[in-house]
Amino acid sequence: MKKVIFEGSGVAIVTPMDSEGFVNYAELERLIDFNIENGTDAIIICGTTGEGSTLSFLEHCDAINHCIKYVNKRVPVIAGSGSNDTNFAIRLSKKACEYGADALLVVTPYYNKTSQQGLIKHFTAIADSVDTPIILYSVASRTGVNIEPATCKELSKHPNIVAVKEASGNLSQIAKIRALCGDELSVYSGNDDQIVPVMSLGGKGVISVLANVMPKQTHDIARLCLDGKFDEACALSLETLDLANALFCDVNPIPVKEALNIMGFDAGHCRLPLCDMTEDNRNKLIDVMKRHGLVGVIN
């Protein structure tokens, strides 16, 4: 059995930007503290929600390094280090390891895509280049390529490939991965509305967008699942479902950044080509947040 990186709720933390569009490190620290103080079990930096794809190489490295230093071993830090260019992903992964990342989150190649054999070669090359555990990231809706269960099985043979963030939304596929890989590949839900079903199949937790704004509730859902209290976890998940859905009324991370701003944080705007949400969607988001008492709660 391979080492489990974390159990419970890992936040796919946003990268706050200042008024000039640069990374706002002071606000990133506030968001990290907010999560850790409310039970978040791991911090995932520079993933999809962290706008890793529009950070320069130096910004990406600086954000990872800053996060690791600031977290200071309070919880595991998982660095997003994927790319559609295998050599670039290796370069970024090596830097994250130098900084002391507890694990790497490596997304499937996007735009140029690849075959399943190409995925095996891509992830194996990255895993061979580092000694740090790797979480595969399967999100075909954004990359156009899915990691098939048989491919997960093959990749799970590598000692450094220890988990998969499964954001396909396909519970049948997740069940097949669990059946094929067993304890050689931990599974994390990549969708906040599927924490309970994925964990009922043996998943270890979630890499969550919702945890940015509801860290305690997201942690509690996962913790209840880990404790085998699936009825209670389901009830809490259904209570938060409207907000989990509202955070995807536009392209992630547009709504979650706006939600943090509405709460009172200074998350700023997304970088182009992501733009601000429409006023209609913003009003709908506010209505949902009001129901949960989240408007203006941060001083």
The residues annotated with a catalytic role in the active site are 137, 165
d(CA 262, CA 23): 19
Residue 17's Cβ-side half-sphere holds a number of Cα atoms within 13 Å equal to 21
d(CA 147, CA 165): 10
Q: What is the dihedral of CA 25, 10, 295, 280, to 10 degrees?
A: 90
Q: Name the H helices within the chain.
A: 25-37, 57-71, 86-99, 116-129, 140-143, 149-155, 171-181, 195-200, 215-226, 230-246, 254-263, 279-291
Q: Structure tokens of 183?
A: 């304890």
d(CA 89, CA 175): 29
d(CA 207, CA 227): 18
Please say whether the beta carbons of 259 and 277 come within 8 A: no
Pairing of strands 186-189, 205-208: parallel
Sign for the CA dihedral angle at 47, 5, 190, 43 comes to negative
Please say whether the beta carbons of 145 and 106 come within 8 A: no
Residue with tokens 């660095």: 79
Which residues is 105 bridged to in the sheet?
A: 80, 135
Q: Count of CB atoms within 10 A of residue 19's CB?
A: 9
Please say whether the beta carbons of 2 and 19 come within 8 A: no
